[in-house]
Amino acid sequence: MAGLSMACLLAARGHRVTVYERELVGGKLRRVQVGGLTFDTGPSLFTFPQVWRAFLARLQQEDPLDLQPLPGGLGVHHTPFGSLPLPVAPEHSLFPEWQRYCGKVAPLRPHLLALLTTPPQLHRPEFLRASRALFGVTGRHLTAESWLGAQKFSPALAHALRTHALNAGVSPQDAPALYALIPALVGQEVYRPAAGMGAVLDALMDFARARGVTVHQGNEVTALNNHFLTLGKGRVIEHDLIVSAIDPQRLARLRGLVAPSPVARRSVSGLALYAALSHATQLPATSVLPPADFQVFRRAVRAGALPSDTLALVHAEGPKLAVLLTVPAVTREITCGHPWVQRQLRRIENTLGAPGLLDSALDIKILDPLHYAAGGHPGGAIYGAFAPSWRAGPLHPQPYRLGERLWQVGTGVHPGGGLPAILGGALMVDTLLAQARK
């Protein structure tokens, strides 16, 4: 998605652009058929739509997406201290506390777009204003855990908010403080396109075609030497400029530079289970089951072990059910019959009051760490290697420019946040490229 976004922006500036894709375009965002039903893999929520609108404005493009509010927003969070919907509804007993939380985060909201789309350069006034607003909210607290611990929220709200640190692919003890603020920043703006998340991929492909972008699918790049690409059959091609949208460590290996990172320095991987049921469930659109103890979860993941209980996201839409489980980024095959998976499914059934959740499944498809490792970071780490909290999130652990003719973009460079980070990172690189070529 980052590569296609970047291709559209470069083509809009008049460049002749070629995209090389080892398999199918879309990265983690794919369409899979399960039991005659179509599922969109990868990002399941469309948040921070202002970033999408900024991307469209840069392209001078009308919005082709029919964004629909997702019922229930960020979903019901089933914490050890009780269930809590985010956003918290006015009739809920914790609503005054939710309002206090939103009030603390409110000064950052006007600067959110700049934070997500402006290159992190000190000479840019908008970046400085956004950074000051961020640090004005987070203060001296570098991590999500530190900030939340200082707020003295009730256990249920604090636990639900801790869950969103995993939008950075790491536990709240490692995630930047910004990720504790995400539920307030998202608010009620949680959407999906009416045609599903795959409509975002369709839109980018349409934008690319309209601007003359050439897309070569099934064309793997096997080596990179300056601005010369080597393709799978040994063909060498020269380009004036290379923009990599693959994981930084994978790019380094193509350049012959570095070995994979140790497990403890990787963000988490995932196991996605897509089930076509014989009938619709009565579950909410989104249910969130966080780990009972984030410290225990963190120790397991950093050791490369399957945690006793993990973050589970359950998305229900008619007879379509998606269960997303967080696992450590250690390349392995995990089947539906794996004892750990079965334990997590029993936990989901017991928590949601949905016994025999998959008993009526007509077909099930699983995407495990092997799937995410095939084209991404070693071990299948969804957000690549994680950096110390003071260099993560909007402060960007990876350089965008690696050489005179080599740039990089994507989730491993601008980590966390899903589609907003992908689109925002592409906008940043587009800005920096235009600046460099003046």
Q: What is the tens place of the pLDDT at every residue in 26-45?
A: 988 999 999 999 999 988 89
Q: DSSP string covering 116-161, please? A: HHS---TT-HHHHHHHHHHHHHHTT--BHHHHHHHHT--HHHHHHH
What DSSP character marks residue 379? G
- Looking at 177, 199, 215, which one is the last position of a domain? 177
* Confidence at residue 331, expressed as pLDDT on a 0 to 100 scale: 85
Q: What spatial distance separates the first Cα and last Cα of the chain, rounded to whole Å? A: 27
Residue 114 in any domain: the answer is yes
- Looking at 161, 177, 193, which one is the last position of a domain? 177
What percent of the chain stands above pLDDT 90? 83
- Segment 110-123 shows an average pLDDT of 91
- Which residue segment(s) compose the domain that 338 sits in? 269-328+334-367
**Mean pLDDT, the chain, whole residue set:** 93
Residue 102 in any domain: the answer is yes
Residue 119 in any domain: the answer is yes
Give 322-360 pLDDT, tens digit per residue.
999 999 999 889 999 999 999 999 999 999 999 999 999
Most trustworthy range by pLDDT among 374-378, 393-397, 415-419: 374-378
Closest CA to 274 of 356, 366, 343: 366
* Residue whose tokens read 């009739």: 91
* Confidence at residue 395, expressed as pLDDT on a 0 to 100 scale: 67
User: How many whole angstroms separate alpha carbon 76 and alpha carbon 160?
Assistant: 9
* Confidence at residue 233, expressed as pLDDT on a 0 to 100 scale: 82
> For residue 380, is pLDDT > 70?
yes
* Confidence at residue 390, expressed as pLDDT on a 0 to 100 scale: 73
Q: Residue type at 384?
A: G
Closest CA to 334 of 382, 377, 271, 275: 271
* Confidence at residue 156, expressed as pLDDT on a 0 to 100 scale: 98
Residue 153 in any domain: the answer is yes
pLDDT band at 392 (very low <50, low <70, confident <90, very high): confident
Residue 49 in any domain: the answer is no
* Confidence at residue 228, expressed as pLDDT on a 0 to 100 scale: 94
Q: Which residue has the higher pLDDT, 63 or 167?
A: 63
- DSSP, collapsed to helix, strand or coil, labels residue 230 as strand
pLDDT band at 82 (very low <50, low <70, confident <90, very high): very high
> For residue 138, is pLDDT > 90?
yes
- Segment 53-64 shows an average pLDDT of 98
Give 183-208 pLDDT, tens digit per residue.
999 988 999 999 999 999 999 999 99
Q: How many residues does the chain have?
A: 438
> For residue 415, is pLDDT > 80?
no
Residue 83 in any domain: the answer is no
* Confidence at residue 386, expressed as pLDDT on a 0 to 100 scale: 83
What percent of the chain stands above pLDDT 70? 98
Closest CA to 240 of 1, 18, 2, 13: 18
* Confidence at residue 416, expressed as pLDDT on a 0 to 100 scale: 72
- Structural domain total, the chain: 2
Residue 111 in any domain: the answer is yes
Residue 128 in any domain: the answer is yes
- Looking at 121, 156, 177, which one is the last position of a domain? 177
* Confidence at residue 134, expressed as pLDDT on a 0 to 100 scale: 95
Whole-Å CA distances, 323 to 31, 270, 289:
16, 10, 11
* Confidence at residue 66, expressed as pLDDT on a 0 to 100 scale: 96
